[in-house]
Amino acid sequence: MKATLVWAILAAIGAVLVVGLGLYNVSARQGHLPGVSWVLHTAYKNAVWLRAPSEEEVPDLTPPSLVDLGQGHYENACAFCHAMPGQSRAETALSMLPAPPHITEAVADWEPRHMFWIVKNGVKMSGMPAWPSQRRDDDVWAVVAFLTAVKRGERHGEAQTELPAGGDLAGETGSLPLAPAAAVYRDQCLSCHGRDGFAGGNVFIPRLDTLPAAYVAASLQAYRSGARQSGIMQQAASQLSDPQIAALAAYIANQSRDRLAEHEVGNLDPELVSRGDVLAHGGDEKANIPSCVSCHGPASSPRSDHFPPLAGQSEVFLRDQLMLWKSGRRGGTDRALMMHEAIPDLTKADMLALAQYYASLPPSR
């Protein structure tokens, strides 16, 4: 008994000395004590295996548009630490402890469901960050789709969108104050949203070329504050200043409308489209579904600049947004309340029909 007590007191004094006097060296330049790395890494692997979602929960990760979206986010948020395929890691990232594995190694030992868990939750005390939005999983899967494509050797890291030759974006509007916004757009938005705000048919990325400046600015603020959740857009908007948001919104709304005619409808079901048409015009027996067109068009009378036009957005994007509204996971600007009132009585079938109807309409402002 006595001996145990003495040992316990000695251990406690030792711990106080190490922690309280700063004797434990936290320097990232010194590796862990022998065995510690093994313990940490084994604990990490087992924790991922235990908690990852099941095989059935993994969505289809093959659509190239989903992989493109994931790659766009990866370049913004992950490549600094893990590098692009075929590229070396940054020297500063290599000086971390543990050093982030190169992407090709990072994906080697894991299945998609494990990667999902790691990207969503991050890894404590390692520098691997958690996903910024905990309310949504769909955008995490986009990144997993990219990681899976890398694992299969299908993506080698070349940029998906060709950047326009230097400077000509800035000149396009012919107005000098917009030039800095053009540069921000080119460096931080173009790879996903495309040259004129049209993402070249990527159904997961909304077109911006139909949106009014006031809605773009309010949406960017909502992403920046986290009121509207999207791990991808929260990252893209997080470091924009107020003046940059205002300038970007003006820049986007003043873009050339050359690509407004480009509109890939995909396979729509005519019956659903006409059911959506009726619903959108408020022609349903369900009294609690308001007329969508009064706020979203198409209508001949001018609408508020705070209501996004839906015509010409992809069916996938519209459907996903409606599902998010319905499940209470879509926040937004201070006008989001209007949608929270419009949505509760819509069924899944109604939402599909409405998404198909608006996707069938030619893009317009």
Q: Considering the complex, what minimum distance in angstroms separates the CB of residue 182 from ligand HEC?
A: 12
CB 190 within 8 A of CB 163: yes
CA–CA dist 280, 289 (Å, integer): 9
User: Is 134 in a helix, a strand, or coil?
Assistant: coil
| Residue 311 contacts ligand HEC per CB under 6 A | no
| φ, ψ dihedrals at 123, nearest 5° | -130, 115
| Residue 247 contacts ligand HEC per CB under 6 A | no
Site string (178-217) toward ligand HEC, x via CB under 6 A: ----------xx-xxx----------xxx-x--x----x-
Task: Tell me how far the alpha carbon of residue 206 is from its chain's centroid.
Answer: 12
Query: What does the DSSP 8-state code read for residue 123?
Result: B
Question: What residues form DSSP beta bridges with 123?
Answer: 128
CA–CA dist 320, 142 (Å, integer): 13
DSSP H helical ranges for 168-314: 168-172, 179-188, 190-193, 213-225, 231-237, 242-253, 270-280, 293-296
Cβ-count burial of 22 within 10 angstroms (0-12 exposed, 13-18 middle, 19+ buried)? exposed
| Residue 289 contacts ligand HEC per CB under 6 A | yes
Q: Considering the complex, what minimum distance in angstroms separates the CB of residue 204 from ligand HEC?
A: 6
276-281: long-range contacts at Cβ-Cβ below 8 A with a sequence spacing of 24 or more? 276/353, 276/354, 276/355, 276/356, 276/357, 276/358, 276/360, 277/357, 279/350, 279/353, 279/354, 279/357, 280/354, 280/357, 280/358
User: Is 276 in a helix, a strand, or coil?
Assistant: helix
User: Is 284 in a helix, a strand, or coil?
Assistant: coil
- CB neighbours (10 Å) of residue 358? 28
Nearer to ligand HEC, 32 or 258 (CB): 32
Q: Considering the complex, what minimum distance in angstroms separates the CB of residue 77 from ligand HEC?
A: 5
Dihedral over alpha carbons 320, 325, 329, 333 (to 10 degrees): 110
| Residue 312 contacts ligand HEC per CB under 6 A | no
Size of the site for ligand HEC (CB under 6 A): 68
Q: Considering the complex, what minimum distance in angstroms separates the CB of residue 72 from ligand HEC?
A: 3
| Residue 253 contacts ligand HEC per CB under 6 A | no
The number of residues making up the chain comes to 365
Which residue among 333, 359, 360, 361 contacts ligand HEC (CB under 6 A)?
A: 333
Q: Considering the complex, what minimum distance in angstroms separates the CB of residue 282 from ligand HEC?
A: 8
Question: What residues form DSSP beta bridges with 128?
Answer: 123
Nearer to ligand HEC, 20 or 321 (CB): 321
Q: Considering the complex, what minimum distance in angstroms separates the CB of residue 296 from ligand HEC?
A: 5
CB 149 within 8 A of CB 67: yes
Q: Considering the complex, what minimum distance in angstroms separates the CB of residue 280 from ligand HEC?
A: 6
By beta carbon distance, the residue nearest ligand HEC is 332
Which residue among 354, 356, 359, 360 contacts ligand HEC (CB under 6 A)?
A: 354
Interface of this chain with ligand HEC, residues 58 to 97, rule: CB under 6 A? 69, 72-74, 76-78, 80-82, 96
| Residue 233 contacts ligand HEC per CB under 6 A | yes
Q: Considering the complex, what minimum distance in angstroms separates the CB of residue 206 from ligand HEC?
A: 4
| Residue 113 contacts ligand HEC per CB under 6 A | no
Q: Considering the complex, what minimum distance in angstroms separates the CB of residue 84 from ligand HEC?
A: 12
Query: By C-alpha distance, which of 92, 64, 61, 26 is closest to 205?
Result: 64
Binding positions for ligand HEC, rule: CB under 6 A = 44, 69, 72-74, 76-78, 80-82, 96, 98, 100-101, 106-107, 115, 118-119, 123, 126-129, 143, 147, 188-189, 191-193, 204-206, 208, 211, 216, 219-220, 228, 230, 232-233, 236, 248, 289-290, 292, 294-296, 306-308, 310, 318, 321-322, 332-333, 335-336, 338-339, 342, 346, 354
